[in-house]
Structure 1
């Protein structure tokens, strides 16, 4: 709990003391692998805090800062038995933030490496990314 609060305080401080330039990032999705959470910040204000599922044992969720590369509203995985990946936001190769029908697993590692969200939350993020644009969106994944 202390770690989670420390991360939130640090994120707030980064937002407050970071100047906003023309054409700057307006939408950020920060994924914390250790707490299995995502914090969505839009135009300098925290809009959402959601549980996620990332790579389970034997699989890998890449860390770093990414811009979305492409979107797919009704995507299905070619690699994993045509599994549904609604509201997929691809950020690195086959890695995406997307909805899942395994909602009970959110909050703990359960994926093959993607960042899974409740489908309703994935739809909200997908819409925000469409509205703000790829250049103004960052997906940041940290341990």
Structure 2
């Protein structure tokens, strides 16, 4: 493993830990937040959501069941029959609140950055896109 690979892995792990800790105070789980973000673009099937999040359909069905019970999503038809999941107005509000909260947390972390640090971070964003894909439009 090259030095760049090893150093990048260490930082990504640290970022992941920090984001997970910050997210603990949010009203949704990480999986629920991801589903809400995906559904803001339009309805999706449970299988599509599972593939997008790298989980098995039964796991995603459990996530969707909890979100449906909370009123954040609705489902048209049973999951086994190819039904789709759609975000509700309440879910859109929750998604917006979560996005705003996450942005505030990042703003706090960026508060001490110099203008040069901010430029460097901005310049690195396309590299992350190449490595991990385009960002989710939420």
Calculate the TM-score normalised by the size of structure 1: 0.31
Q: Would you tell me which structure has more helix in proportion to its own residues?
A: 2
Asked which structure has the greater CA Rg, the reply is 2
Q: Would you tell me which structure has more strand in proportion to its own residues?
A: 1
Calculate the TM-score normalised by the size of structure 2: 0.31
